[in-house]
Every structure is written in structure tokens, then in C-alpha cells.
A and B are shown apart, each in its own frame.
Chain A
Amino acid sequence: MPEESLKLRPYQDETGVMIGLEIHVQLNKLNTKIFCGCSLDYHDDGPNTHTCPVCLGLPGSLPVINRKAVEYSIKVGLALNCSIQEHTQFYRKNYYYPDLPKGFQITQYDYPITSNGNIMIEGEDGEVRIRINRAHMEEDPGRLVHEGGSIERSKYTFIDYNRSGVALLEIVTEPDLRSPKEARRFLDKLRNILEYLDVSDTTLEGSMRVDANISLAGGSRAEVKNISSHKGAERALLFEIVRQKNMLRRGGTVVQETRHFDEARGVTVSLRTKEEAHDYRYFPEADLVPLRVADWGPEIAKTLPELPDARRQRFISTYHITDDHAKSLTSEKKVADFYEKVAGRVDPKLAAVWTADVLKGELNYRDIGIDAFKTEDIVQLVSLLSEDKITEQSGIQIIRTILNEGGSPDNIIEAEGLLKAEGDIVTNAVEEAISENPQPVADYQNGKPEALNFVVGQVMKKTKGRADAKLVRELILQKI
């Protein structure tokens, strides 16, 4: 597998950019934290309201594994084509930091629950396979809240342990990514898969955090820590490439170090160099016995849903829609579910166009989700369009009205009089327009084709946009 995929990925240019990602995903769709019974539904509550002796690391408290968290992790592993370990075990990663209540983090080391997987993404030059080294389980630390928002300027810092003990899955890729854009696509794809698996609500703050490793040919690797968004990852990597390129061009050396991405300034700054690197003193967590998970895999595999790639293929073969439309419709599970509800009832191709191109565009513009629109409304709309009862322009107008003011296609059409005009009204309007505008008609006849547009426009005005412009044009030409 490694050789094969490396063959797949020659360097794109002489800079030899290599990027590997470590992504921390919160398994926040669980009911409780990874080692205690505290709830995860803390985002709207006050600090330290979802805590207990275990997640506060109080003396004498002991962790107990949340078996559902293990199941979810295996589920993700299977979706990433990883192999599941026979045995899995937890370790302690020892280090001091104020957000870490026990002075160590319970994580995995030698026996991560899943390893050796891969997923396909859209690369710079076609589909590429990105290898997944491992995906291992661990606990989230607490959250530091700096007074004034910045670590440098704050006089004091609060610690909120609501997050402490939330189950994390750390997904580690091989350095197979070759550009910031690829890194972002990988992250989007991963988020897409997680959403399909229903193991993480990635819209919640802090639910997906990225560390990026990046190196250029001839330089050492720098790690950029704690990037909170996919866009941020792309920007941080772009900055790093320029920084490292310049450093090498000037004859300097890129040192191995950990860097911090300053989101506001769009730059990375050095946190610590290798000399200060931690010795985490990993050793087995004896409070949690090793877990035999070999038998869990096959059972969990049965519960695996259809994943984005498979669904895309099925959309193409079942509904005969374009690859672009299929991609767009499956890139968000809710949108794909929405489309499937519609596609069975109306022309699926037309439904794809109106969902992917029009509706999604309007939703993105307003930054709202597909939930804001009823499938029933798009079914009506597409039916009316198929039956040629409304114009495309009216269709767009209906969608916008629903999103802005509410209502249904039916009553908007009635209120705005959007049904396509009947034949007689159009014919009358055409005749009126010709007789009222002799000059443009003459201009057209004298070889000015654009003069016709004015006449068409007059007809549209008289019919309040309900006439089909193409038909109007033909009618005018017949009469003059």
C-alpha cells in the first residue's frame, strides 16, 4: 500500500511540498464523555457545569471506558478503510498544562484502535489516495479562556472543564498531501464522512481541530498546532510554504519546531523548537484494562451507512445526473437526503439542477442550512417547471421569497401572479407592442437586430414577466 500510493504521488515541483495532518475530532454525538457519565450538551451552559470527580481529575477518581465511544471509533476506522486492532489499550501521556487536570492525558500509543487506512480525494491532478496512518482515541483536555481573548495580553485565565473528558479521535495522515488546497479538500472530505457516520456534529465550536506538518525538499518539518477551521488550515499552510521557501532561498535552514497559527494576522509564529520538545513518558494506563475489540469490527461494519463516494456513484447511475451535480448534492448529508426525497417524485435531473445550482446557492448566500426549505416546496416548484407553467425566472423568485418571507410556491404564484401568461394575452400584448413602437420595428427591419429586444421587453412588461421570452420573440417575428 505505501509504495503503491507513493507511486501515485510524484512531487509536483522541485519545492517538494509534503503535508501531513493530525485531526482531532470530538465524538460529540455520544451521550456522555469518554471516561465518565457527564453529558456533552454543554455549549449553551455555564463553565464547569458538566463536570464530575472523574473529568475534573479529582484525587481518587478513576476512568471507565465509554463503550459507545469505542464503537464510534471503530466505525470511523472502517469508513477510513483502516484495519481494526485485535487488542486496544490506553496509555498515559504525561505533561503539565493548566487545562490538563490530572497532569497526564489518557490516550493511545502502541495499540491505537485503528490503523493503516486511506481515503480518496480530489487532488491537484485527479483523484488521489491519501493514507491514514492511524486513528486513535483520547480524552479532550479542558478549555482555557484568556481574559481579553489573547494569551499574551491577558492578566488571568479561566479554565472551563466542561470539555475535559470529551471523547476525541485523533486521525493521523501520512505526509501524502501536496498542497494547501489538497489539505483543505481532505478535511472537507473527512468532515463529510464523519457527518454521514453521524458520530460528530462538526458545526460545534472546537469539534474538529487540525495540526498540520509541513516540509519542503531540503528543509525540516514544522508543525502548526491547533488550527480551528479548514479555511484556516489552508491559509496557515500557504503562509508556511512561502515562509519556508524564502528561508531556503536565502540559504537559511528550516528548523524542526512547533508553530502557532495566528488566525487574525494570518501568520504562523514559533512556539518551541526541538530542544524543548516534550518527553511524554508514555506508559500503560493501568486503571483501564486492555480491550479486546477484534470481534467488534464485523458487527459494527453491518451498521455502517452508505458513505459519500458510494452515494455519489449511486446518484449518477440511478438518477442520471452529472458528476458535478452528484458531488454537490452528496457533499452534505442533509442535502443528499433532501435530494433523494425529491428525486423520486419529480424529474430527477431537473430536481438536481434546482437543488444543487439554485437552492444551494441561495442557502449559501444566506448562510443557512437545507433545513430551511421544505422538500414539498421544491417538488411543487420542479413540477411546475416541468409542466412549463412558470418561467425559470419565476422559479428563482419563488425560492427567494420562501427563504426571505416564507410561504409556499402556490400562494406566492397566486399573490404575485406568476403563472405563465395564456396565449391570447400574449398575442394581444405583442400586437400592441408592435403598433406602439413603430420606430424600433423599423430599426430591426433595417438591419439592427438588437432593436428587437426592446420590443420583446415591452411585451414582457405588459405581461408582467409571465410570458416566455423565446415565444414572444417568435410571435413578433411572425407579425413583422
Chain B
Amino acid sequence: MPLKPRTAISRLPGSYEVNALITVSQTLQAIQDSSAEEVVDKCLERIEGSKYNAIIKVTRDEALEAARNVNGGPLAGVPIAIKDNISTIGMETTCGSRILSGYIPPYDAHVIERLKEAGAIIVGKANMDEFAMGTSTESSCYGPTLNPWETECVPGGSSGGSAATVAAGEVPLALGSDTGGSVRCPASFCGVVGLKPTYGLISRYGLISYANSLEQIGPIASNVEDMTLLFNLIAGHDPRDSTSVPGEKDYTKALVNDVKGLKIGVPKEYFGEGTEPAVERSVWEAVHTLESLGASWKEVVMPHTKYALAAYYVIAMSEASSNLARFDGMRYGLRLEKDHDWHTTYSEIRAAGFGEEVKRRILLGTYALSAGYMDKYYLKALKVRTLVKQDFERALKDTDVLIAPTMPAPAFKLGEKISDPLTLYLADVNTVPINLAGVPSISLPCGFSDGLPIGLQIIGRHFDEETVLRTAYTFEQNTDFHTRSPEVA
């Protein structure tokens, strides 16, 4: 696929050191003009001089070495940042947690294998909420990532580092993971594009589990086209993940600037209490933009949305309590000075290694699965999950996509909500139902409020990424929100 720089970007000076979002096509051009090594070196410089704390680990020598040896592929020499919960061989992978400090995976995640085959260069591990639990990237043991649009604000979470590094123009591409909105929320807060694909489309092999029945790896880029290119590379069957679905598709074919006849559903429950007027206005404007391009819209009801948040947290925490049991400091990760009998040693390591939010979720999840409470919480949550799934099936029966705000409000201030977990959980109200249902959903910029980006969420049917991408691409081609970038110091 020929990657032509679009007008908005190409108006910028031909240098690779612009104060703007960088695209894959610009990067490939720069590689052609100089070399992969030089381009990677420039990205590393930006990351090393960055004030956003988006990248928590850089392996400079290895990245330059890989750039020198790059040998073709659609992303030959293109730098990419990887969320720190995706296993990278020889590169410390910590999930933003002290308990995994020093853990160097002896194997690559499936997506990493694919990226390496495609010639991409991994330049760093991106900051994240500890074990992907959070909406602000403030719970990382490496400290918070700052939002490049406004450094007093959070970048969103949990893939805050991945979205912020792209927004800051440090790398053109990044991978995140989305359990309840963890790709879309930071994409929304940082004004970039992020996709939560249909459950089963991208192999989770090598993704360190938080809530395995909900999470998917998701691509992040500064525009729909780049994001699709990345998605296209990493989607597809992997026999090492039993939930991975067979078959491959070429998603770049969905990049068509046309929504004639498209039927849009607008779920009114997604504009609930707490939705900021600027957000509501921007999203409706987006609907009308698409309408003006030939789409039609109607309001749809999704009656179980109000129970989705509670069900999501019960399921996610239950799964987390089990998934995080393996972190005991015995074979890898944190080790304390003195050993006692094994259960005391486990307890001490886990007490010292996990942060507050992680401990909270492990405890709540353990409680929810305990004898006597399982029916009341976990099994009930599974029932709600089925109802939420049915909401989507019904709503998407006679509509092609659903459109809603990604987040009810733009990025909030650092420290503003971290001390109040319940308020923080409420921010996920529009993203978690999508994970419960397993359907695809993209977030892309659709407006600004006081200089902070607003995210538009486009949700589709299971395995119908094409329609979601086509809708997003058409919107993007006819607007210029994606060309705006923060003033990067």
C-alpha cells in the first residue's frame, strides 16, 4: 500500500524534527532520505529528552543495532513503543510494578514477533498503570506520565505512556492493551487514534494478563491509516492463544473515504450524567459530519449500560486476583533480603511489590470469588455481561456502527481523582461495556475543550473492524482534528 503523506502533514516543513505528530509515511520517507539508524537515533533522543515520562525503559544499543540490521518489511526501520505489559525478549517487562522489577522475559509476545518480522524497531517500553489497572497512568511504580497537551493533566490510562509518546511525536506507533478502555481512554485524552479490536483478533500470547476474558492488545497511532497499518500486521491467528480466531484479513482495504448509506446508532445512555457539554457537542457534531457525508443516524437504547460498570469491575477484579497469583518473587522479579517459610515470604514480597490499587483489586476479586459470595457477585456479573452483549446485538441489528463519547470528559488533573477510586472507576462508564461484549471500538480525536482533546468512539459488530475503520477514516479525511498536535517543548 503506498503511504502518501496527507496535505495537513505535508504542509509542515520537510524535517523529521518537527514539533508535531509524526506519521509512518514521514518516518519511512526520512529513513529513505537518511537511514533507519539515524531515524531511530532521533526518536531515542526525543524520548531521552522527554519530560512526559511516557517511556520508562529504553534499550538504545539494541534499538540502534536492530535499525542497522533491518532487512525490509512494511515497517522497515520504523520505531515503535511497547506497553510494558507485553513481553519482549531480553528487555525488562514490569507492568509498571515493583514486583516485576528485573524481570526479563525469555520470549517475545506474538505481536512482537510480528513487528520484528515487519522490520519495526522497538525503542522503548511505555509507562502504564500498574498491571493495567487504572484510568490515569498514575499508579505506575515509575511515577505518572504527563499529558503532552497539558502537563498538569493525566494522559489517561492504563496505556497512558503509549498514547502520550505518540502524541508527543516521539514515535509514530505504539502498542497498548485495552481491558476496559485502556487504549481508547488515553487515545482520547492525548488526541491520538487507538483501537480495541474484537476479542480474539489479536493473539494475547505474551501479554501479561490482568483480566484475560476482557483484554486485547490495541494499536495506537496519530491517524487512522497508520493505526490500521499496525493493526493489520498484528491481527491474525496464533495457535498459542486458544481464544485466537482463525483467518487473516487485509484491513487496509477498509480505508475508504465513503460512508454513504451507513447507519449510525447513537446510544443515549452514553451521554449520561457527568458528560461534559463540550464533549456532547463535539460528538454530535461528528455524527452530523458523517450525516453530511451520506450516513444516517438514529438513537438506540442500551438499557443494561447502567449495570455494566459494576459487572466489569467484579469480573476484572476476580480474574486479576487469579492472574496475579503467580507473582510471588520466587522465580523472577522482586526479592527481599530475608527469606522465611514460603508463605510468609510470599506475603512479604507481595506486600512490598504491589501498589495500592493492585492490592485493592486483588482483595476485592478474591472476595468476589470466595465461597458464599460467588453467586452474589461473580456469577451475577456474568449474567449482566450476557445482557450487555445482547444490548449490542440488538442495537447493531439495524445499525452499522454506534457512536458515543470515548470519555465523558477531557483529561483531568493529576492527583485529582487518584485518591478516590470510585470516582475514577466512573470515568470508564462508556468504554467498559465494549469489553464486556467483546466488540471492536476505536477512539479518534473529534474536538477540543479548553485546549484538551476530545475522543470520538465508534463501535462495531463482532469482527466488523472494516466498517469501524471506514467510518473513522472517512471522518478523519473530512476533518483536521488529527493534524493538531501539542506544543512539545
Give me the interface of A with B, judged by CB distance under 8 Å. Answer: 53, 56-65, 92, 94, 96, 98, 101-104, 279, 281, 283, 286-289
Contact = CB atoms under 8 A, between A and B. Distances in A.
Given A61-B205, A94-B322, A289 B242 contact: yes
Contacts of B370: 279, 281
25 contacts: A56-B331, A58-B106, A59-B93, A59-B100, A59-B103, A59-B327, A60-B85, A60-B109, A60-B207, A61-B107, A61-B205, A61-B206, A62-B240, A62-B242, A94-B322, A94-B369, A101-B331, A102-B326, A103-B328, A279-B370, A281-B322, A281-B371, A287-B243, A288-B242, A289-B242
Interface stretch (B37-45, B208-216, B264-272): B208-216
Given A92-B322, A279-B370, A288-B242, A62 B87 contact: no
Contacts of B331: 56, 101
B87 A96 contact: no
The 7 closest A-B pairs by CB, nearest first: A103-B325, A286-B213, A281-B369, A59-B208, A60-B206, A60-B87, A60-B208
Contact of A64 (B207, B240, B324): B240
Contacts of B346: 96
A59 B325 contact: no
Given A60-B206, A64-B240, A287-B241, 8 more contacts: A59-B103, A59-B327, A62-B204, A62-B205, A94-B322, A103-B325, A279-B371, A283-B322
A94 B374 CA distance: 14
A53 B107 contact: yes
Contacts of A287: 209, 212, 241-243
A204 B276 CA distance: 68
A58 B87 CA distance: 10
A60 B204 CA distance: 8
Contact of B87 (A59, A92, A281): A59
Nearest to B319: A286
A58 B208 CA distance: 9
The residue among B243, B326, B378 with the most chain A CB atoms within 10 A of its own CB is B326
A96 B350 CA distance: 12
B96 to A, nearest CB: 13
Contacts of B212: 286-287
B130 to A, nearest CB: 14
Contacts of B343: 96
A104 B100 contact: no
A62 B243 CA distance: 10
A281 B107 contact: no
Contacts of B318: 283
Of the listed residues A103, A288, A289, the one surrounded by the most CB atoms of chain B closer than 10 A to its CB is: A103
Contact of B322 (A56, A60, A104): A104
Contacts of B103: 59
B247 interface: no
A63 B242 contact: yes
Contacts of A288: 242
A64 B239 contact: yes
A368 B326 CA distance: 44
A57 B239 contact: no
Contacts of B85: 60
Contacts of B378: 283
B326 A101 contact: yes
B154 to A, nearest CB: 26
B177 to A, nearest CB: 11
B105 A60 contact: yes
A329 to B, nearest CB: 45
A45 B480 CA distance: 64
Given A60-B206, A283-B369, A53 B106 contact: yes
A409 to B, nearest CB: 56
Interface of A is mostly: loop
Nearest to B214: A286
Contacts of A61: 107, 205-206
Interface in B3-19: none
B430 interface: no
Interface in B149-196: none
B146 to A, nearest CB: 27
Interface residues of B, number: 45
B330 A98 contact: yes
A151 to B, nearest CB: 11
A61 B323 CA distance: 11
A454 B369 CA distance: 85
A53 B332 CA distance: 12
Contacts of B107: 53, 58, 61
- Kindly name the residue among B207, B239, B324, B369 whose own CB sees the greatest number of chain A CB atoms within 10 A: B369
Contacts of B207: 60
A215 to B, nearest CB: 23
B84 to A, nearest CB: 11
Nearest to A36: B240
Interface in B236-250: 239-243
Interface string B284-325: 000000000000000000000000000000000011011011
B242 A102 contact: no
Contacts of A59: 87, 93, 95, 100, 103, 105, 208-209, 326-327
Nearest to A103: B325
A372 B203 CA distance: 52
Given A65-B242, A283-B378, A287-B243, A102 B325 contact: yes
B472 to A, nearest CB: 29
Contacts of A283: 318, 322, 369, 374, 378
Most chain B CB inside 10 Å of its own CB: which residue of A59, A104, A286: A59
B152 to A, nearest CB: 34
Contacts of B100: 59
Contacts of B457: none
A105 to B, nearest CB: 11
Contacts of A98: 330, 342
Instruction: Choose among A53, A64, A286 the residue with the greatest number of B CB atoms under 10 Å from its CB.
Output: A286
Nearest to B204: A62
Contacts of A103: 322, 324-326, 328
B176 to A, nearest CB: 15
A101 B333 CA distance: 14
A65 B242 CA distance: 8
Interface in B123-161: none
A288 B244 CA distance: 10
B330 A57 contact: no
A65 B321 CA distance: 23
A165 to B, nearest CB: 14
A361 to B, nearest CB: 49
B366 interface: yes
A281 B342 CA distance: 21
A94 B318 CA distance: 11
A383 B96 CA distance: 79
A62 B330 CA distance: 20
B82 to A, nearest CB: 12
A287 B212 CA distance: 7
Given A283-B378, A289-B243, A60 B209 contact: yes
A371 B240 CA distance: 41
Contacts of A60: 85-87, 105, 109, 204-209
A65 B241 CA distance: 10
Contacts of A65: 242
Contact of A96 (B239, B241, B243, B325): B325
Interface in B72-129: 85-87, 93, 95, 100, 103, 105-107, 109
Contacts of B241: 62, 64, 287
